[in-house]
Each structure stands twice: as structure tokens, then as C-alpha cells.
Amino acid sequence: RRAASSRAQAEVAMGRAPSGEGLRFEWRDGRLLHATVPPNRWCITRSDLADFRHDVRAAMERGAIVPVEDDDFDPRDDHAGPTMETVNRQLIMPVSAAHGHASWALLLHPAGLECDLFVTHCWKEGVFEFLDKVLNSWPRRAEHAYCCMLSNPQTLDIGRLLTDPDRSPFARALQSAQCVLVVPNSDVSVYTRIWCVYEACLAYSWGTPIFTAMKPVHGAKSAVFALWARYATYYALGYHVLHLPAREHLNWQLQDIRCVVLIMPLIALSLFCRAPVARLLINECGLALCGVLYSISAHWSIDDSNMKHLANSVVFA
């Protein structure tokens, strides 16, 4: 009766009526699979992770994943979503229990996939925040990833697998990985989870490259276009309105000093100001100064590149 109930719950979670037909996964002997397939092959692909995002959203829409006392998430939120702990309890574990107790990864790939990427996270993050960061930061050369929530058998005795940390599935998968992807979140530090600390320690001691996952940047192209448009405006302003008189009438050393006097306050402010608005203003002032300096240099002969070098130093500072 309990198995039938778990199977029905799993079918509802996967967006199907509990009819016993049309399941996405086949039944697997989880105990046998996890005893014969080494942990460094308990992996998923990037497309599996993208499919999992759709599975979570579908389960939420059908009421299989609901807010609980310790995770009162907004079902309409598509940016953070329920925590990984909630998704594990309400989706991963029911599906695994209904199909032989194999992990999500081995339900998809019973022969396993060789580990290229090791993903570490703290389980407190929203599932959509986690998935979007991993999908956005997935290394190009990596084909398969070990991710504990989907790689480990959540309905078996995981504690028995973790009694010896050096021989745990985490350590064995990490040893095969080409790199580690740390997934931070907006709520707590990933290193509040002791296993994340241990995994970072192992990766560092083995010389495995460690990268930090980042969320997708929306509107990047329009932001770059706006930046160049503002730069062109400052350049035109300097060229047609603020340009210096002819070279022979200038004290060039004095002009260099004036430029340095303009630049140094911006450098000092950028070192000490951390307020977002202040940094936006500093960046805008730097952009304006670059445009004006380049426009002034356009009035000089090609032989004298002092101001151009100074403008370049501002751009790359």
C-alpha cells in the first residue's frame, strides 16, 4: 500500500495522473545500481538539468510541490522558487521511491556517465536560482556533472555512504572531476554546510580548478549599446565644445598635471566608495573623462601621443 501511494504521488509530481502508465522513468533496482555503478558515474547532463527545471515548474503548477512551514515560497516566483530541501522531499524522493530507489541520475542513465564537473551547493537556495546559475555557468568542455541532490540515492541509507568522508561518493566523484562549480545563493553562505567546506578543501588540495556560478545577465547587449552611445556623446562634447587651443599655445606639462588632478580623485573614490549609486556616478565620470580626453587628443598631431596614452591609462585603470 505504501509503495502504491508513493508511486501515485510520484506520478502526480511528474504531471501525470496516477494511472500506472506513461511514466518518464523505468523501474530500477536502486540498491543494486548504486552498489555496482561507481559514484564518479552518478552524473547528469546539462540537458537533464534543464529538463529538471521544467519538471519542478510542472510539479508546482499541479500542486505536487507546495509551501511548507520552513519554506513559505511564492508558487508564482520563477527566480528563486522552493528550496532544494523542499524539492527533494516533495519531488525527488517520491519519484525515486516509486521507481526502485535509484537516484535521479541513475534513473536517467543506469550505466552512469563519467564525471567532468562537480557541483557543490548548500541546499538552502531556491531551486530556480540554483538551476539558472548552473546552466548559465556550465563549463563548455564539461559533458557530465555530479550534483548531490540528483546523483545520490535520496531514499536509501545515505548516512552509511558518508561514514568515511575520504571514501564517500562526494570524494570519489570530486577526484574524477576536471573542475568544481560552487553555487552561491542570495540567502546564506554556501560554506555554512560542512560538506561544502570539505569539498572545497579537497578540490584545493588536489589542485582542481574551482569556479563560482553566476546568474544570467539580462539586457547585456542593450547596456553595451547605451555605454557606447554615452561615450560618443562625451567625445562629441569634448571635440566640438571643450577642445583645447592649438598646440603651440599650451603649456603641455601644465595640461598633463591638470589631467592627473582630474583622474586621481576618481581613482581614490573608486577604492573607498562601495555604495551602488556612488559607484555608478564614479563610473559615469570616468566614462565622461575618457571621452573628453580622447576628443582632445584628436586635435593633436599624430606625432604627439601623450594625451592618448593618458586616456588609455584611464580606460584600463
Buried b (16+ CB within 10 A) or exposed e, 231-246: eeebbeebbeeeeeee
Q: How far is the C-alpha of 75 from the C-alpha of 73, rounded, in Å? A: 6
Say what the pLDDT of residue 297 is: 66
CA neighbours within 13 Å on the CB side: how many for 34?
24
Q: Considering only CA atoms, give the Rg of the chain.
A: 28
Helix axes 276-297, 220-240, angle to 10 degrees: 50
3 touches 98 (CB < 8 A): yes
User: Cell 564614479 appears where?
Assistant: 282
Which residues does 106 contact at the CB level (< 8 Å), separation at least 6? Answer: 28, 30, 33, 34, 37, 42, 112, 153
Cα gap 130→121, rounded to integer Å: 8
Per-residue pLDDT tens, the chain, 317 aa: give them: 444 445 545 554 554 433 333 347 899 999 999 999 999 999 999 999 999 999 999 999 999 999 999 999 999 988 999 999 999 999 999 999 999 999 999 999 999 999 999 999 998 899 999 999 999 999 999 999 999 999 999 999 888 888 888 889 999 999 999 999 999 998 899 999 999 999 999 999 999 999 999 988 777 778 888 888 988 888 888 777 765 554 444 454 455 566 667 777 777 777 777 788 888 888 888 888 888 777 766 655 444 555 555 455 544 44
The CA distance from 42 to 109, in Å, is 8
Residue 306 is predicted with a pLDDT of 53
| pLDDT at residue 255 in the model | 55
3-state secondary structure the chain: CHHHHHHHHHHHHCCCCCCCCCCCCCCCCHHHHHHHCCHHHCCEEHHHHHHHHHHHHHHHHCCCCCCECCECCCCCCCCCCCEHHHHHHHHHHHHHHHCCCCCHHHHHCCCCCCCCEEEECCCCCEHHHHHHHHHHHCCCCCCEEEEHHHHCCCCCCHHHHCCCHHHCHHHHHHHHCCEEEECCCCCCCHHHCHHHHHHHHHHHHCCCCEEECCCCCCCHHHHHHHHHHHHHHHHHHHHHCCCCCCHHHCCHHHHHHHHHHHHHHHHHHHHHCCCHHHHHHHHHHHHHHHHHHHHHHCCCCCCCCHHHHHHHHHHCC
